[in-house]
Amino acid sequence: MSATTTQTVAPPAVAVPAPEQKHGYLFGTKLAASLSPMFHGTIYADLGLPWEQHRLESSDIPAFLELLQQPAVYGSAVTMPNKVTIMSHLDEITDECRDVGACNTIYFKDGPGGKRLLCGTNTDTAGVRESFYQNVANPDAVFHDKPAMVVGGGGAARSAVYALWRWMRATKIYLVNRDASEVKALMDDCTARGYGDVLVHVSTPEQAEELVRSGAGPGAIVSCVPDFPPQTAEEKTARQIFETFLAAESKGAMLEMCYNPTPYTQSGAIAEGQGWQVILGTEALIWQGVEQDMLWTGVSREKLPVKNASDAVKKRVAEIASARK
């Protein structure tokens, strides 16, 4: 009896469709120096997605809303001067977006009848939060259940206040700024949104000295001001208050939000010289971008190529700083 030879036939190859080409926007003005398109482009390239982010130099809200309805658009980052004005045009906003009073990210949901819903959030707050949690080895020892401090009064300061209050267990948040009216506006807005009771305007060096003497110095500081030497009397007073807190016996961590043209600022150098851990502003840029890409791609943080994108940002910042010397 002869043996029967069988031949295994391979199943027909199944064609895997190529990823769809998509694009997003960075919507605002003065975008030429933004590192956002490069950061997101690195993420997409590593994921094998033929996506890119385009700079949309504009404040034309109606035209922007029309662009968002194009099928190939995956979402948008929003920057100044559009972060506040865009909010009233969105279908949904997150708690962060509402409580900070600004939107820096638009993502989509499917609505009734296939309608594309425009959803707004604020990932700047997560950028602040993750800058600390990804870089401070022992948050309990450094900043949990302690006062914190924010230097500045603009949009970045508002995001920092929210992050410190919502996620970082700040017992009080000291506000230091050259412009008292900005501080009042920030405090009024936060009070209206339910968390103004944690804010304290520190307006004199003597007030700062008293807080330091009582052992109530900050564990976390977020500096949200440009890297310029103080010139006016108000700026010099704010710098003196800042340095008074830095000189406290108990040291903590400071996030320097300024990174353009270099993240190595005068304020950062002063803090480092006083024994504080200084976290560069590129960290906030990176981590808020990670939050955006989680929303836009649906990929979890663990599976995003964060290190490669982070290295690309740091390399580019170093090149820019070197070119300016």
pTM reported for the whole predicted model:
0.90
> Hey, which residues does 109 pair with through a beta bridge?
117
The predicted-structure confidence for 179-213, as pLDDT tens digits, reads as follows 999 999 999 999 999 999 999 999 999 999 999 99
My answer on whether 131 and 274 are in the same domain is: yes
Assess if residue 16 is contained within a domain: no
- Has residue 7 been placed in a domain? no
CA–CA distance from 41 to each of 54, 57, 212 (Å)?
A: 10, 18, 45
Residue 24: strand pairing partners:
53
Whether residue 4 lies inside any domain: the answer is: no
Token pair listed for 45: 């390239």
- Is the residue at 76 inside a domain? yes
> How far is Cα 32 from Cα 184, in angstroms, rounded to an integer?
33
The domain of 272 spans 126-279
Residue 167's CB is within 10 A of a number of other CB atoms, namely 15
| Same domain assignment for residues 170 and 200 | yes
124-133 vs 281-297: helix axis angle to the nearest 10? 120
Residues 239 and 155 in one domain: yes
Based on the fold, state whether residues 130 and 257 are members of the same structural domain: yes
The total number of structural domains that make up the chain: 2
Asked whether residue 262 falls in the same domain as residue 182, the answer is: yes
Q: Are residues 264 and 297 in the same domain?
A: no
CATH number of the domain encompassing residue 50: 3.40.50.10860
pLDDT one digit per residue (tens) for the chain, 325 residues:
444 555 555 566 555 566 799 999 999 999 998 999 999 999 999 999 999 999 999 999 999 999 999 999 999 999 999 999 999 999 999 999 999 999 999 999 998 888 899 999 999 999 999 999 999 999 999 999 999 999 999 889 999 999 999 999 999 999 999 999 999 999 999 999 999 999 999 999 999 999 999 999 999 999 999 999 999 999 999 999 999 999 999 999 999 998 877 888 999 999 999 999 999 999 999 999 999 999 999 999 999 999 999 999 989 888 887 777 6
